[in-house]
C-alpha cells in the first residue's frame, strides 16, 4: 500500500520517481554548485598534461591534452578563447605528433623495438 492512495503511479515524473528534469531550476542549481569541471579548470588540466607529455607518456597525455583543451575552449573556434585551453590544444597536438613519429621511427627498418 502506497500511503493511502497517494502513490506515485498517477504522477510518475514526480521528483521521487524520475529525478530532476533537464530544464528544471533544481538541475541548474546543481550545476552551479559544482556538477563538473569548468572551462578554466579543463584548460589548466590540459596544459599540465601537454607539458608532462613531452617528458613521459606523450602518446597518452597528448590526446588527453587535446581533448581537455578543446573542451576548455567550449568546443568552438568562435568567440574569445581562454589562453590555457588554446595552448593545451596546440601543445597536445604537437606532443601527439612527436609521439607518433617516435613510435613509427622505432618500428621502422633497422630501429626495432627489441
In this predicted structure, what is the pLDDT of residue 110? 63
In this predicted structure, what is the pLDDT of residue 3? 57
In this predicted structure, what is the pLDDT of residue 75? 86
- The structure's pTM equals 0.64
In this predicted structure, what is the pLDDT of residue 92? 96
- 7-46 pLDDT, tens digit per residue, is 555 555 555 555 545 555 555 555 555 567 888 899 999 9
Asked if residues 74 and 39 have their Cβ atoms less than 8 Å apart, the reply is: yes
- 38-81 pLDDT, tens digit per residue, is 888 999 999 999 999 999 989 999 999 999 999 999 888 888 87
Asked if residues 46 and 65 have their Cβ atoms less than 8 Å apart, the reply is: yes
- 80-105 pLDDT, tens digit per residue, is 878 999 999 999 999 999 999 998 88
Asked if residues 88 and 49 have their Cβ atoms less than 8 Å apart, the reply is: yes
Amino acid at each position: 500500500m502506497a500511503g493511502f492512495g497517494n502513490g506515485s503511479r498517477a504522477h510518475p515524473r514526480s521528483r521521487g520517481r524520475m529525478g530532476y528534469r533537464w530544464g528544471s531550476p533544481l538541475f541548474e542549481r546543481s550545476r552551479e554548485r559544482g556538477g563538473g569541471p569548468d572551462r578554466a579548470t579543463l584548460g589548466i588540466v590540459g596544459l599540465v598534461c601537454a607539458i608532462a607529455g613531452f617528458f613521459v607518456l606523450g602518446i597518452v597525455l597528448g590526446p588527453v591534452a587535446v581533448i581537455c583543451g578543446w573542451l576548455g575552449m567550449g568546443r568552438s573556434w568562435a568567440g574569445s578563447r581562454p589562453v590555457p585551453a588554446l595552448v593545451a590544444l596546440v601543445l597536445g597536438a604537437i606532443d601527439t605528433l612527436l609521439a607518433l613519429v617516435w613510435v613509427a621511427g622505432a618500428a621502422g627498418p633497422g630501429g626495432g623495438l627489441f
